[in-house]
Structure 1
Amino acid sequence: MHLLHVIASPRTTRSASRQVANAFVDEWNTRHSDATVDELNVWDIDLPAFDGPILEAKYAGIEGRPLDETQASAWRTVRTLAERFRNADLILFSSPMWNFGIPYRLKQLIDVISQKDVLFTFDERGLNGLLGGRTVVIVAARGVQLGPDFPPDQFDFQTTYLTMWSRMVGITDVHVVSVEKTLFGPEQDHASRAQASEKARGLGRRV
């Protein structure tokens, strides 16, 4: 078994999403003692801008044209990043909510790797994901609590986006652990993290 942990918070040891995700990983590791874990921190890697040679390589591939040397080199970067997802049996996202969505660096990573014949393909049947059979776990941290004041169907562009992306690449086994109200003072923050960590450990015993 191989787990890919995609870390989207820049807060390092203070991150609520990362703390809860680590509780999941620790429990999951007890069931998979021979497993490997790959941490992909979107703030620590050099993510390419999706323009220039990468964009040209994308459309050359779609149109069936050969890539020149610069385009081929750029496309190898896409495939190298995507391979970390293809190698995983379980993909874990730990992400804060920024403006009711996901951090821009995580969105940039997704935009780079989500390419035809890399993570999905399409034909007369429509869109066909290439990562079927895998599991996704989303640990979502929020400073507020979604509910009457912030209805999830209007305000949640965090877990709904990551769930949509998972389905797009063929993954239907998706689990969400939320840690909310982290900006409501130290006491509430601690209680929220503890409660979410317990849920994460429980999930780690099941998936």
Structure 2
Amino acid sequence: MTKLLYIQASPRKERSHAIAAADAFVAAYREKDPAVEVTVLNVFDEQLPDFGADAVSGRYKLGQGIEATPEEKAAWEKVLRVIEQFKAADKYVFAVPMWNFGIPYRLKQYVDLVAHPTHTFGYNENGYFGLVTGKPAFVAYSRGGEYPAGTPYENYDFQKRYFETFLGFVGFTDISSVVVEPTLGGGPEVAAERRKAAMEKAAEIARTF
């Protein structure tokens, strides 16, 4: 049975353009693989653990064979559970809106919980290498404005560039995506049109995912 982890990074739920496109992808994928096990994780609903002083100390002490305090162990174990859930999936879907030219802060928190050496990436004399390999990812992006490649506006896009850099860093090489834009800059009719087009494209990608 295929395990698909669907991570939503918007608190807007059904009003989110990114989630609408990602939902269309998941629905089409379910038609292709009715036995798929889909786990939906909205980072604004989840009680994500803090990666604070105890978790940091626990991570480094336990990684070096040094005795950690009960508080440090407990804090790091909460982070490990997030990492283990992430790595357990076979396929991944992400709904990622743009916030202030980047990704929502709760998704950044999730990235910081997941990205740890020896767990999702490693390094040697040749540099870094990802450990989450051989798994495809689909990302639905949305943003209020437009940031076309080759224009000065492209330089403001720290959303798609950052998130796909993260995915590549931890090992993903098969990454497909759709972008819903502009969701605000062109008015509601343009937003509805672009949303519909992205949903159709997402469903098409899902059929060969």
TM-score interval for Structure 1 and Structure 2 normalised by the shorter chain: over 0.9
Match of 1:185 in 2: 187
The answer as to whether partners of 1:3 and 1:89 remain within 8 angstroms in 2 is yes
Secondary structure of residue in 1 paired with 2:74: helix
Match of 1:38 in 2: 39
Gaps of at least 5 residues in structure 2 are none
The answer as to whether partners of 1:159 and 1:176 remain within 8 angstroms in 2 is no
- TM-superposition CA deviations, 1:26-61 (whole Å, max 9, x none): 111111111110011100111222211111122224
Match of 1:95 in 2: 96
1:74 aligned partner, one-letter code: A
The answer as to whether partners of 1:181 and 1:188 remain within 8 angstroms in 2 is yes
Match of 1:126 in 2: 127
The answer as to whether partners of 2:8 and 2:41 remain within 8 angstroms in 1 is yes
The answer as to whether partners of 2:86 and 2:114 remain within 8 angstroms in 1 is no
Q: What is the rounded CA distance, in whole Å, between the counterparts of 1:180 and 1:15 in structure 2?
A: 12
Secondary structure of residue in 2 paired with 1:45: coil
Match of 1:140 in 2: 141
Q: What is the rounded CA distance, in whole Å, between the counterparts of 1:123 and 1:103 in structure 2?
A: 31
Secondary structure of residue in 2 paired with 1:40: strand
Secondary structure of residue in 2 paired with 1:151: helix
Q: What is the rounded CA distance, in whole Å, between the counterparts of 1:202 and 1:179 in structure 2?
A: 15
Q: What is the rounded CA distance, in whole Å, between the counterparts of 1:181 and 1:150 in structure 2?
A: 16
Q: What is the rounded CA distance, in whole Å, between the counterparts of 2:136 and 2:67 in structure 1?
A: 35
- TM-superposition CA deviations, 1:114-144 (whole Å, max 9, x none): 1122212223343222110011111100111
1:158 aligned partner, one-letter code: Q
Secondary structure of residue in 1 paired with 2:112: helix
1:18 aligned partner, one-letter code: I
Gaps of at least 5 residues in structure 1 are none
- TM-superposition CA deviations, 1:36-94 (whole Å, max 9, x none): 10011100111222211111122224544233321111111111111221111111110
How many aligned residue pairs are there? 206
Give how far 1:160 is off: 1.1
* Alpha-carbon distance change, 116 to 61 in structure 1, aligned in 2, over 3 angstroms: farther
* Alpha-carbon distance change, 126 to 65 in structure 1, aligned in 2, over 3 angstroms: farther
Give how far 1:200 is off: 0.3
- TM-score w.r.t. length of structure 2: 0.93
Q: What is the rounded CA distance, in whole Å, between the counterparts of 2:65 and 2:102 in structure 1?
A: 35
RMSD: 1.5
* Alpha-carbon distance change, 158 to 43 in structure 1, aligned in 2, over 3 angstroms: same
Give how far 1:146 is off: 1.0
2:3 aligned partner, one-letter code: H
Secondary structure of residue in 1 paired with 2:92: strand
Q: What is the rounded CA distance, in whole Å, between the counterparts of 1:66 and 1:178 in structure 2?
A: 47
